[in-house]
Amino acid sequence: MRRGGDLCIYSLKLLRVDILNFDNTQKETKPRYQFSVLMSKGMIPRPLSLNKTKTVVKRKPVVSSMAASLMMFVSVYACLFVFLLLTLMKILDKFWWTPMRIQHLVGSQGIKGPCYRFIYGNTKEIIKLRNEASAKPILTLSHDIFSKVQPQVYTWINAYDGAYTKAEATAYVKKLLGDGLVTAEGDKWAKQRKLANYAFHGESLKGMVPVMISSVEMMLERWKNHQGKEIDVSEEFRLLTSEVISRTAFGSSYLEGKKTFDLLLKLSVLANRNAFKVRLPVISKFWKTADEKEAEKLVKGIWDSVVKMTKKREDKVLTKEADSFGTDFLGSLVNAYHDTDEKKRISIEDSVDECKTFYIAGQETSSTMLGWTVLLLAIHTDWQEAARKEVISLFGNQNPHSDAIVKLKTMTMIIKESLRLYPPVISISRKVERQVQLGKLFLPAGMTLYIANMALHHDPQIWGEDVHLFKPERFSEGVAKATRNNPAAFFPFGLGPRTCMGSNFAITEAKIVLSMILQRYTFTLSPSYIHSPFTFVTVRPQHGIQVMLHRV
């Protein structure tokens, strides 16, 4: 299913019109003028052919050669003029005509939003609001973070009741994720989704539990030095989730994959920095900024290290060290790359893009979810105690085992409430591929729909006046009850066919990590913690999450 189509299932309330992020790049037409046409139509004289068998009286065609030069001169300038004219038209189309048309169309249907400004759209305002928000930490430990994390969306919802902008998938995001599962479409998406499904669900996921446990043991070994002291859990969880995804998906350790992680991190810094910068079409192809040049180098570095990792796996089979490419995610990718069936085969580019996607998606989101959950439990020690009791009653002091992980009911409620208040992915966007009617709304092709799940997770009309309070009991009778049967009110992992590929993986990992911490430690929030959630790929704690560790 095309991404645009998925949205029909959402209620109108979810749909926010994003005038800024119309995307007409896919519809770009190729330049139609061609030099060869001029030639074939006789506008540029062909050179005289010299027939050696006949006696030809050669005359210097002084006048005609001057005319030819003149014609050539005029033709070149005409082409240049046409090229510049087309470029100008393209720029005007992208930065003036299409946004104004979309703004007029949606405005005439009663959807209001911030005015579109030529070239910049609303980016200047976004940058200003974001800078202001990130400069000020929240002085109390309030979970009312929506206005802090997405100040522009918050301001505009209040000002225009429903008009939005969104962070479009920029060229940098493409560089970061390639054409992997998150961004791919159509048949390619279906093929990649099947491969990943096999590697991350059912028995494969069960098989990952011991690896997750031993990675947590490694982390807890480090924590022994912090007993009775402060520890920044966000940094710890970054290392832990990197280790877990490296070992479960790629059969290597964090240290082996460190170079790839470091390069991806640098690239995400550039992606974040350039998220709201405007680049002119055509011109941006010839003139690259320092960040773009740097990003290209990073992409090359990531390519080299991922290909090296893939080759290592292939070599093991070639040197008979192993008899198959393996059953983990990397193994499935290498198998698919070597598949004799052309329909199932994937290219090396696809394989690299998938690795990049899973390195990022598998680590970043899980890490922030764990951080926010520990913060909430550090403040709400009653819930921390309830979760600990449940863990001890199920596992005692033994490591968690996969069959009982699903029985952690209190912990499930805690994780859901943490995902409601601090959803790592704060919005989902879809492009309207072709003109559609949605309820009474008429949505033009090229428009981007921005579904702000964080806005919904923090909406008092859905959750009640206590919306900003940490109350895991909301989920005691499941999501349907908590949302009063509104499936589109809570979707931290997305909805529909493009729902998160790794949700089971992430929840299993979180339950193991939290159980093993709770078995050993109680924790309270450190006085040095500064409450400042901000967006950097996911919703991150700007200054880390420092807690005080005490042995149980």
The annotation places the binding site at 500
Tell me the β-bridge partners of 64. none
Cα 204 from Cα 183, distance rounded (Å): 24
Q: Does 523 bind ligand HEM (CB under 6 A)?
A: no
Q: What's CA 161's distance to the chain center, in Å?
A: 26
Q: Does 182 bind ligand HEM (CB under 6 A)?
A: yes
Q: Does 191 bind ligand HEM (CB under 6 A)?
A: no
Cβ atoms within 10 A of the Cβ of 231, count?
22
> Smallest gap, in angstroms, from Cβ of residue 430 to ligand HEM?
8
Cα 254 from Cα 541, distance rounded (Å): 22
Measure the CA angle with vertex 533, ends 525 and 19; round to 5°. Answer: 165
Amino acid at 535: T
Options 205-213, 332-340, 365-373, 454-462: segment touching ligand HEM (CB under 6 A): 365-373
Q: Which CB, 352 or 549, lies closer to ligand HEM? A: 352
Options 152-160, 331-339, 356-364, 526-534: segment touching ligand HEM (CB under 6 A): 356-364
Strands 448-451 and 16-18: antiparallel
Tell me which residue of 472, 490, 462, 452 sits closest to 155, measured CA to CA. 452
> Smallest gap, in angstroms, from Cβ of residue 69 to ligand HEM?
57
> Smallest gap, in angstroms, from Cβ of residue 341 to ligand HEM?
22
> Smallest gap, in angstroms, from Cβ of residue 181 to ligand HEM?
4
Q: Is-contact 375 545, C-beta < 8 A?
A: yes
Q: Does 362 bind ligand HEM (CB under 6 A)?
A: yes
> Smallest gap, in angstroms, from Cβ of residue 327 to ligand HEM?
16
Which of positions 377-396 make contact with ligand HEM (CB under 6 A)?
none
Q: Does 425 bind ligand HEM (CB under 6 A)?
A: yes
Cα 27 from Cα 263, distance rounded (Å): 32
Q: Which CB, 211 or 500, lies closer to ligand HEM? A: 500
Cα 348 from Cα 356, distance rounded (Å): 12
Q: Is-contact 222 529, C-beta < 8 A?
A: no
> Could you tell me where the beta strands, DSSP code E, fall in 187-276?
230-232
Cα 333 from Cα 325, distance rounded (Å): 9
Cα 114 from Cα 269, distance rounded (Å): 28
Q: Is 336 exposed, middle or buried (0-12, 13-18, 19+ CB in 10 A)?
A: buried
User: Minimal CB distance to ligand HEM: which residue?
Assistant: 502
Q: Which CB, 428 or 452, lies closer to ligand HEM? A: 428
Q: Does 489 bind ligand HEM (CB under 6 A)?
A: no
Based on DSSP, count helices (H) and strands (E) in the chain, helices before strands.
23, 11
Cα 489 from Cα 406, distance rounded (Å): 24
Q: Does 366 bind ligand HEM (CB under 6 A)?
A: yes
Cα 77 from Cα 286, distance rounded (Å): 20
Q: Does 193 bind ligand HEM (CB under 6 A)?
A: yes
**Residue-level length of the chain:** 552
**From the list 365, 412, 483, 515, which residue makes contact with ligand HEM (rule: CB under 6 A)?**
365
Helical segments of 444-552, H only: 453-457, 460-463, 478-482, 503-520
Amino acid at 353: D
Q: Which CB, 387 or 548, lies closer to ligand HEM? A: 387
> Smallest gap, in angstroms, from Cβ of residue 211 to ligand HEM?
13
Q: Does 502 bind ligand HEM (CB under 6 A)?
A: yes
> Smallest gap, in angstroms, from Cβ of residue 461 to ligand HEM?
22
Q: Does 195 bind ligand HEM (CB under 6 A)?
A: no
Q: For the chain, what is the largest distance between any 2 Cα atoms, rounded to a whole number of angstroms?
A: 109
Options 146-154, 207-215, 355-363, 480-488: segment touching ligand HEM (CB under 6 A): 355-363
Q: Does 95 bind ligand HEM (CB under 6 A)?
A: no
Options 14-22, 40-48, 359-367, 474-482: segment touching ligand HEM (CB under 6 A): 359-367
Q: Which CB, 121 or 492, lies closer to ligand HEM? A: 492
**From the list 7, 15, 219, 361, which residue makes contact with ligand HEM (rule: CB under 6 A)?**
361
Q: Does 374 bind ligand HEM (CB under 6 A)?
A: no
Number of residues that bind ligand HEM (CB under 6 A): 23
**From the list 303, 450, 493, 534, which residue makes contact with ligand HEM (rule: CB under 6 A)?**
493
Known binding-site residues for heme equal 500
End-to-end CA separation in angstroms for the chain:
51
**From the list 205, 219, 233, 369, which residue makes contact with ligand HEM (rule: CB under 6 A)?**
369
Q: Does 137 bind ligand HEM (CB under 6 A)?
A: no
Tell me which residue of 173, 160, 31, 59 sits closest to 103, measured CA to CA. 160
Interacting residues with ligand HEM (CB under 6 A): 181-182, 193, 200, 357-358, 361-362, 365-366, 369, 424-425, 428, 492-494, 498, 500-502, 505-506
